[in-house]
Amino acid sequence: MAARLAHIRGRMATAAQRAGRDPAGIALLPVSKTFGEAAIREAAALGLHRLGENKVQEMRSKAGPLADCGIDWVMIGHLQTNKARDIARIAAEVQSLDRVELAVALDRRLQLEGRTMDVLLQVKTSTEPSKYGIAPDELTAFARRIAREMPMLRVRGLMTLAINMPEPAAVRACFRTLREWRDRLRADAIEGIDMQRLSMGMSGDFEIAIEEGATEVRIGTAIFGRRPYGDDYYWPEGPARK
């Protein structure tokens, strides 16, 4: 894992330099979904203390036994509203906030827990029917509503999954769309919203995402190794990457 991590960091730095960006401005979010305690302990020993998971139940089952590792769990998968309570208790951050109903439920649960939470708004930047996310033209209203009515949610930026296609141009267009909407929302300067971060790019497309302005890439396979089944097994709502 140490070698894979070093390799990914090297590729991230090269992509940043190619785009004229400071590599220090691009964070790595390792995605540990489907991997167990041993792999996560190995990751923590390498200094990885912020990990992405896409299912609440799995996050919860790991958080207890791994409490001594001091991990910040980041939710990146589609959330049912009835999971808001667990999320408010366990997650450090949610990157997949994609609808008002969920935001309301999460804010209410966070009030009960007495804590705020950083969130990213997940945006649907491709036309694939399987992708969750807010339609871009609903973003401004969504962000304004959170700023006005949901005091425990701290909106920090946007997240997306690019279209699952071999054509780099189509993938790039998704990332560019996300950046353009981030810039537009930033220009709106909604009070209480700090619209900076762009979480975009995975093992197969993170270099394109960095070229298009990602501040954070979510990398699973390229660090932890291949998951034993195709993604549709763990991730029925996502692109069926194998």
Ligand X SMILES: *Cc1c(COP(=O)(O)O)cnc(C)c1O
Residues lying near ligand X in the complex (CB under 6 A): 31, 33, 54, 76-77, 161, 202-204, 218-222, 235, 238, 241
Q: Considering the complex, state which of residue 109 and residue 218 has its C-beta at the smaller distance from ligand X.
A: 218
Q: Which residue is nearest to ligand X (CB)?
A: 220
Residue 161 CB, nearest distance to ligand X (Å)? 6
Residue 199 CB, nearest distance to ligand X (Å)? 8
Q: Considering the complex, state which of residue 76 and residue 106 has its C-beta at the smaller distance from ligand X.
A: 76
Phi, psi of 235, deg, nearest 5:
-145, 60
Q: Considering the complex, state which of residue 184 and residue 233 has its C-beta at the smaller distance from ligand X.
A: 233
Phi, psi of 160, deg, nearest 5:
-150, 160
Neighbours of 202 (CB within 10 A): 21
CA distances from 120 to 28, 44, 90, 172 (A): 15, 24, 17, 20
Buried b (16+ CB within 10 A) or exposed e, 112-142: eeeeebbbbbbbbbbeeeebbbbebeebeeb
Residue 82 CB, nearest distance to ligand X (Å)? 20
134 in Cβ contact with 124 (< 8 Å): yes
Residue 238 CB, nearest distance to ligand X (Å)? 6
Residue 241 CB, nearest distance to ligand X (Å)? 6
- How far, in Å, CA of 5 to CA of 163, rounded? 25
Of the candidates 100, 80, 199, the one whose C-alpha atom is nearest the C-alpha of residue 153 is 100
Residue 94 CB, nearest distance to ligand X (Å)? 12
Strand partners for 31: 52
